[in-house]
Amino acid sequence: LRKVEALDAGHFVRVEWEDGSESRYPCVWLRDNCQCPDCFLRSAKARKLLFEDLDVNIVAKEVALADREKISITWPDEHMSEYEAEWLKKRCFSEKARAEMREDLFLPECQHWGSDLQLPQMPFEEIIYNDESAYKWLCTLKKVGIVLLTGAATQQGELVKLGHRIGFLRLTFYGPTWQVQDKAGANNVAYTTGKLCFHTDYPVLQHPPGVQFLHCIKQTDAGGESEVVDGFHVSNKLKKQNPEAFQILSSTAVDYTDVGVDYCDFAVQCKQRIIDVDSRGQAVRINYNNATRDTVFDIPAEKVRPFYAALKEFNDLLNSTEHKFTYKLKPGDIVTFDNWRVLHGRHSYPSGSTVTRHLEGAYADWDVVMSRLRLLRKKVLNRD
């Protein structure tokens, strides 16, 4: 730190750094984030200061350079706060600093792909027992959206190990894990031998699972190939090709339903937009499952056909040969993918008198996955 001063009648504090750059901090934010023991519980890294005790119009009474590594501020009630230079620098309000912090916290980089996907592969045992490999797996999963893990045992229970590796699995109405195989009286279209068109899992839940794991225990000789497509890449194509169709799919609330008995009995209803977008209009989640799209459709009748036309165009893009990637899981393979971004499907396969194809599936939430990623990064890169 080179210099510190109050600006704008004490409403801002300006810091000048050794390299000549500067940062401006609103005083209300500085007071809100006082790091002293009365205002901040260091053991929990949590704010103790009550919002009702915060004066949103507060100004700094006095600012000083405590030393070259921290600044001190005295407030009108004589409370004193100190802020370390490194802490302040990371939280600078400039566009560049905020972008760096976003990158550091959320890893927003997204590598789009089509039929040219080079499917990333890693040995299952490595990611279970080696922190660097696990960190690489989760970084790749976040960036590319899909990673194939190889060499798992061909028995149930391997996904439980994966759950323990990241933290814990997501429990749903189909259980902690679930078995994808041909079943009599199937309560889900996945539990048949028929073709599954491109879909994301569980849009009928208000918060669909973020990550999906599918472990191949037994594979059929004929058929049963898996297909994936990058939903964000296709959404961008649709937005350029037909902005009106994109607008319809990102604004129309579609009804989803799932009723039955499995882990317990269930009757689930939800409304989702096929393409969820953020404040900048960028796709952040795809919610598309034709099997569980309800017969109930809560929109005016005259808007129904334009919706179908928009969805048809999106579906055609998903299925185009330039966008979809086809592969066949081998026993011991575990495909891990972003269920908010990557739509998956399956070719049909012949039914038999015995089970010819068996996958075990499980879910995890992105909150759990990103938590483990950050902890592994700190450990692997020795970062504070």
Tell me the CATH number at 67: 3.30.2020.30
Which pLDDT score, from 0 to 100, does residue 61 have?
Answer: 96
Task: Indicate if 84 and 195 belong to the same structural domain.
Answer: no
For residue 71, tell me if it sits in a domain. Answer: yes
Task: Indicate if 15 and 137 belong to the same structural domain.
Answer: no
- In angstroms, the CA 53 to CA 31 distance is 11
Give the DSSP H/E element, type plus range, for residue 180. Answer: strand 178-180
Task: Indicate if 157 and 70 belong to the same structural domain.
Answer: no
Is the pLDDT higher at 352 or at 284? 284
Alpha-carbon distances of 313 from 39, 291, 317, 339, rounded to whole Å: 55, 18, 6, 21
Decide if pLDDT at 325 tops 90: yes
The token duo for 88 is 């302040």
Nearest to 332, CA basis, from 126, 146, 136, 124: 124
Task: Indicate if 205 and 303 belong to the same structural domain.
Answer: yes
Average pLDDT, the chain: 97
- 50-54, 123-127, 181-185, 319-323: the lowest-pLDDT one: 181-185
% of the chain at pLDDT higher than 70 = 100
Cβ neighbours of 73 (radius 10 Å):
24
- In angstroms, the CA 22 to CA 92 distance is 9
The confidence band for 382, taking pLDDT boundaries of 50, 70 and 90, is: confident
Task: Please identify which residue in the block is written with the tokens 């908010």.
Answer: 340
Domain boundary among 64, 98, 132: 98
- In angstroms, the CA 33 to CA 227 distance is 49
Mean pLDDT value across residues 216-227: 98
Task: Indicate if 58 and 133 belong to the same structural domain.
Answer: no
Task: Please identify which residue in the block is written with the tokens 């994808």.
Answer: 180
Task: Indicate if 59 and 149 belong to the same structural domain.
Answer: no
> pTM for the complete prediction?
0.96
For residue 14, tell me if it sits in a domain. Answer: yes
The confidence band for 178, taking pLDDT boundaries of 50, 70 and 90, is: very high
For residue 111, tell me if it sits in a domain. Answer: no
Determine contact, residues 190/202, Cβ cutoff 8 Å.
Answer: no
For residue 106, tell me if it sits in a domain. Answer: no
Task: Indicate if 145 and 93 belong to the same structural domain.
Answer: no
The token duo for 210 is 């973020």
Mean pLDDT value across residues 189-215: 97
Cβ neighbours of 55 (radius 10 Å):
13
Task: Indicate if 232 and 283 belong to the same structural domain.
Answer: yes
Determine contact, residues 178/332, Cβ cutoff 8 Å.
Answer: no
The predicted-structure confidence for 285-299, as pLDDT tens digits, reads as follows 999 999 999 999 999
Strands 40-41 and 46-47: what pairing?
Answer: antiparallel
For residue 39, tell me if it sits in a domain. Answer: yes
Task: Indicate if 214 and 299 belong to the same structural domain.
Answer: yes
- In angstroms, the CA 249 to CA 299 distance is 13
Which pLDDT score, from 0 to 100, does residue 68 have?
Answer: 87
Determine contact, residues 348/223, Cβ cutoff 8 Å.
Answer: yes
The predicted-structure confidence for 44-66, as pLDDT tens digits, reads as follows 999 999 999 999 999 999 999 98
Domain boundary among 98, 113, 143: 98
Domain that holds residue 281: 121-381
Domain boundary among 65, 98, 131: 98
- In angstroms, the CA 182 to CA 186 distance is 8
Task: Indicate if 141 and 274 belong to the same structural domain.
Answer: yes
Alpha-carbon distances of 212 from 162, 202, 286, rounded to whole Å: 11, 11, 14
Task: Indicate if 87 and 130 belong to the same structural domain.
Answer: no
For residue 17, tell me if it sits in a domain. Answer: yes
Decide if pLDDT at 384 tops 70: no
- In angstroms, the CA 34 to CA 109 distance is 32
Determine contact, residues 73/88, Cβ cutoff 8 Å.
Answer: no
Decide if pLDDT at 139 tops 90: yes
- In angstroms, the CA 84 to CA 208 distance is 40
Determine contact, residues 35/81, Cβ cutoff 8 Å.
Answer: yes
CATH number for position 194: 3.60.130.10
For residue 85, tell me if it sits in a domain. Answer: yes
Q: How many domains does the chain contain in total?
A: 2
Task: Indicate if 91 and 163 belong to the same structural domain.
Answer: no
For residue 181, tell me if it sits in a domain. Answer: yes
Strand partners, 214: 335, 361
